[in-house]
Structure 1
Amino acid sequence: MAKFGFSNIVQGVLGNMNEENKESLSKEYSQYLFDNEEIQSGYKLIRDAIIFTNLRIIFVDKQGATGRKTSFKSIYLSHIVDVEMETAGTGFDDSEITITYLTNINRIARHEVLESRKFEFPKQTDIVPLYKFFGNLAMKNRAEINQVSV
């Protein structure tokens, strides 16, 4: 079974994506990183990519026939407030993790604007460590938002 570390946090995410090494990702995407941001891991499918940094999850969508136009969308790790897990059953089921995150700029209780993003994994992938990572992050973020000690 595949195990998760932060270096391969989303093995198998989004179907047929292949893991890319940090050097390759840095060469292509480092100009788009923020101050003190570092690539932890990333995956590519033809032209598109998903990159995990120490600050955010970046979705790269190269558009058009030439791929010169590129869209970058982020989910900030500090905005993740919930996680759900669905393990694979028998047959062709895949495992799933859904994260819910704040989309509004202010992390203030009772003023949340939320969205969710689902990640699908092959059935043989052990998703429990990823679920725990996101769960611990969500608990920390909720405590900060609600100004409660964890």
Structure 2
Amino acid sequence: MGFLDGLMGNVSEVDIASVEKELEVIITDHERVEKAYKLIRDLIVFTNTRLILIDKQGVTGKKVDYHSVPYKSITHFSVETAGTFDLDAELKIWISSTVNPVTKQFKKDKSIYDVQKTLASYVAK
């Protein structure tokens, strides 16, 4: 997957070194990025200690929301696959002490399964 997939709303795995460089101001000394996925401009980053959901906002993307979630705070998650007429798939993540889940929209592709599998490997430890 490449640039065109990103524009279409498909998720693509991102080079870890470039993500670590981008996140060097927020990750701790003993933290390392292990997997990262790009969804249009946003990132879903898995470190050895937490999940970081990065939402780039505005026209230029200079305003950035970093949502850090320790894996132990994730109570459950779900994947809703795309259908025949509904072309979007959704990943929902429930965090302890919150009512509504964090929701990420994916286009009809198989990459939602890669993200779900990675999330499961960290949460189900």
Q: TM-score scaled by structure 1?
A: 0.57
1:59 to 37, 53, 57: 53
Residue 110 of structure 2 is matched in structure 1 by 125
For residues 7-46 of structure 1, the aligned pairs below 5 Å read 15=9, 19-42=13-36, 43=38, 45-46=40-41
Q: Which amino acid aligns with 2:66?
A: F
Unaligned runs of 5+ in 1: 3-10, 103-111, 141-150
Deviating beyond 6 angstroms after TM superposition, the runs of 4 or more aligned structure 1 residues are none
Unaligned runs of 5+ in 2: none
Q: Number of matched residues?
A: 119
Separation of aligned partners in 1, 2:34 and 2:124: 22
Please, what is the CA RMSD of the aligned residues? 3.6
More strand per residue: 2
Separation of aligned partners in 1, 2:78 and 2:33: 25
Residue 132 of structure 1: CA displacement? 5.4
Residue 138 of structure 1: CA displacement? 5.2
Separation of aligned partners in 2, 1:44 and 1:136: 20
If asked which structure has higher relative contact order (CA below 8 Å, sep 6+), I would say 1
Q: TM-score scaled by structure 2?
A: 0.65
